[in-house]
Amino acid sequence: MTTIIKAAGAEDFLTAVPAMLGYQPSESVVIIPFAGTRTVGAMRFDLADDEHAAEVARTVVGMACKVATADALAVIVYGERGQTAAIAPEIVAQARVCGLGVVDALYVTSEGWGRPGEAPQPLAPAPEHLTVAEGDQRAGAGLPEVAPERAEAVAAITPDVDAALDGGDLLDLIESALTWDAESLDAHTVAVAVALLNRPAIRDIALVQWAHGIAVGEAALDAQIGWDAGAEYPTHLAKVMWGEGPRPTPERLTAALDVVRHLAALATEAGKPGPLATAAWLSWALGRSTHAEVYAQHALSIDPQHGLAEIVQTFVVAGHLAEWCFTR
């Protein structure tokens, strides 16, 4: 997002950061790129030990440099005071090497806030319009709670997916999922959707369609048919899965993520990997790598060789973000 930070000082700025992220970070390094006086997004990284401070600094500043309009950054370290001593100066130094200005370097601990080398002072509560729900970057990464009887009803169904699709077009079904009320889906629809997401070809069609619309889904369906017949898969469609190309519509991805999280919660253990891996990719595409890792690990705990879950896990471990995360 791009916003104008109207802050009288560093403390005001710090109270606004959790609202920008959507959560209260912990054990984290947060980088806020700036274009002039405007913020251009926010990036969170796990807080590393002092031994790896220089390596982390190079990584996070490199990420900030990929934001085309950024000319400066602010760095905030969330952890205990000893953890802030090494990493913040390393990031400041690396930013200057790369030609980025430094708006500020700050830390937030259980004792309060300050700048490296300064004693902490109490951090005032955020104003009501900037408060966020309780929980840190991991909050919301679990599956929603569902009534046991709903899951039992799904488990009792073994859908004939091909027959189900005979009665309706696949692309229409994928598109309609964006408007489903996930909390009241009937068991048969859930069972069919779970089965579809456990078919890699159909799952991938759904992902690119949810990212870019039904016309792209149609192109992906045609490409998959061609691939099965020995044709080369179009590069522009493959790039979507790797996080390249035009930026998807966040609202579509968010709607799809809500649905597949409920599908994963309602699925049998054997049926969970497909929707979990789908949730992992959607989270990653939205820039939520922490959540993506949770879903990918859950899928791999059931199916250690699940292809998409392995790919997303590799992305997260390597610190690879979708290219569209750096554009607005």
In the chain, the N- to C-terminal Cα span, in Å, equals: 7
pLDDT, position 2: 41
Q: How many CA atoms lie within 13 A of 213 on its CB side?
A: 4
**Residue 1 confidence class, pLDDT cut points 50, 70, 90:** very low
- Higher pLDDT: 142 or 197? It is 197
pLDDT, position 82: 66
Q: Which pLDDT tens digit goes with each residue over 29-50? A: 999 999 888 888 888 988 887 7
Q: How many CA atoms lie within 13 A of 319 on its CB side?
A: 14
Contacts of 99 (CB under 8 A, 6+ apart): none
pLDDT, position 140: 73
- Candidates 38, 285, 230; CA nearest to 277 is 285
| Cβ(67)–Cβ(36) below 8 Å | no
Distances (CA, A) of 105 to 53, 102, 126: 15, 7, 19
How far apart are the C-alpha atoms of 95 and 60, rounded to whole Å? 9
- 91-105, 114-128, 225-239, 287-301: which has the minimum mean pLDDT? 114-128
pTM score, two decimals?
A: 0.84
**Residue 166 confidence class, pLDDT cut points 50, 70, 90:** low
- Higher pLDDT: 265 or 119? It is 265
Q: Which pLDDT tens digit goes with each residue over 153-162? A: 999 998 888 7
Share of the chain above pLDDT 90, in %: 57
Distances (CA, A) of 54 to 27, 95, 123: 17, 12, 28
pLDDT of 4 > 50? The answer is no
The mean predicted confidence, pLDDT, of the chain is 89
According to DSSP, the β-strands at 101-109 and 72-78 are parallel
**Residue 81 confidence class, pLDDT cut points 50, 70, 90:** low
pLDDT of 178 > 80? The answer is yes
pLDDT of 125 > 90? The answer is no
- 3-state DSSP call for residue 112? strand
**Residue 8 confidence class, pLDDT cut points 50, 70, 90:** low
Share of the chain above pLDDT 70, in %: 95
pLDDT of 236 > 80? The answer is yes
Burial label, 61 (beta-carbon count in 10 A; 0-12, 13-18, 19+): buried
Q: Which pLDDT tens digit goes with each residue over 257-275? A: 999 999 999 999 999 999 9
pLDDT, position 250: 93
Two structure tokens written together for 162: 């091909």
Query: What are the structural domains of the chain?
Result: 2-123 (3.40.140.10), 148-326 (no CATH)
Q: Which pLDDT tens digit goes with each residue over 274-286? A: 999 999 999 999 9
- Candidates 99, 30, 49, 108; CA nearest to 70 is 99
- Higher pLDDT: 26 or 152? It is 152
pLDDT of 79 > 80? The answer is yes
